[in-house]
Structure 1
Amino acid sequence: MKNTEVLEERITAQGCTEHLSAVEDAIYVIGGKWKLKIIIVLQENGNIRFNELQRNIPGISARVLSNELKDLELNGFVKRVVHAEQTPVVVEYISTDYSRTLQPVIMALSNWGKTHKRNIREDAF
C-alpha cells in the first residue's frame, strides 16, 4: 500500500506540537470504547430513551452507559430531556448540533476503517 497523500505545507516543530495537542484533546473527549458508538446511535435515532439506547449498543452496561452519557452531556454532545409532566417521568437523550459537527470525522474514520480492513484481508491472504 502506498501513501498518495501529498502534504501541502511542511509541518514545523511548533505545528507538530499544536497538532498533537489538538488530537490529544479530541481523543480525550470522544475517545474510549463507547463514546463514538453512543454519538452515532443518537444521531441515527434522534430522541431515544436510556434502555433503547442500551439495547442499540451491544455489550455496554447500564453503569458505563450512564457515566458515558454524563461525560458527553458535560462536553455538549448530548442533551438530556426530562418529561416530568408524564407519569412515569420519561427521560430521553438527543444529540446536539455540536455533536453533529463530528459527522465528517465519523465518516472519515468509517471510510478509513473499511479501507484498513480490506488492506489487512488482502495482505493476510
Structure 2
Amino acid sequence: MPSRPPSHRSAGWRPPEQARRERNGAHDVQRRRDAPWRAWYGLRAWALAREAQLARAPLCERHGARGEIVPATVVNHRRPHRGEWALFIDPANHESVCKPCHDREIQREERASSIGGSRSRSGV
C-alpha cells in the first residue's frame, strides 16, 4: 500500500486544534485580567439569583414581546453591570431570555452601545 509523501512543516507549526486551544487560552487570560467580575458567575449567589429569575419568568422575554413562546435558559442583565455588584445581583436588572436572543440580539445591542457609548455617558 502506498504511503503519503512526507510534508514540510515550519519550526513553529502546531496542529490546528492545539493552536486554537492556545489562542483561546490566551484570550481567556486577557478577559479575566480586563474583567475580573466574570468570576462572579461562578458564585453561589449568582446561581441562586439565576434560578430565582428563571422560576419567576421561565419564558424568553424577547420572544414574548413578539408574541412567541420560547423557554428561557439565560438570565441577562438589562443594564450591563460592568463590575458593579448591586447591578449584578439586583433582580430588577435581570431578564429571562433564550440563548439565541442572548448570543445574537443582546450581544449586538451591547456592542452597538459600547461604540462611543462610554463617551456619551460621561458627557465628553
Q: Which has the larger radius of gyration?
A: 2
Q: Larger relative contact order (C-alpha < 8 A, sep ≥ 6)?
A: 1
Structure 1 or 2: more strand by fraction:
1
- TM-score of the aligned structures, taking structure 1 as reference length: 0.28
- TM-score of the aligned structures, taking structure 2 as reference length: 0.28
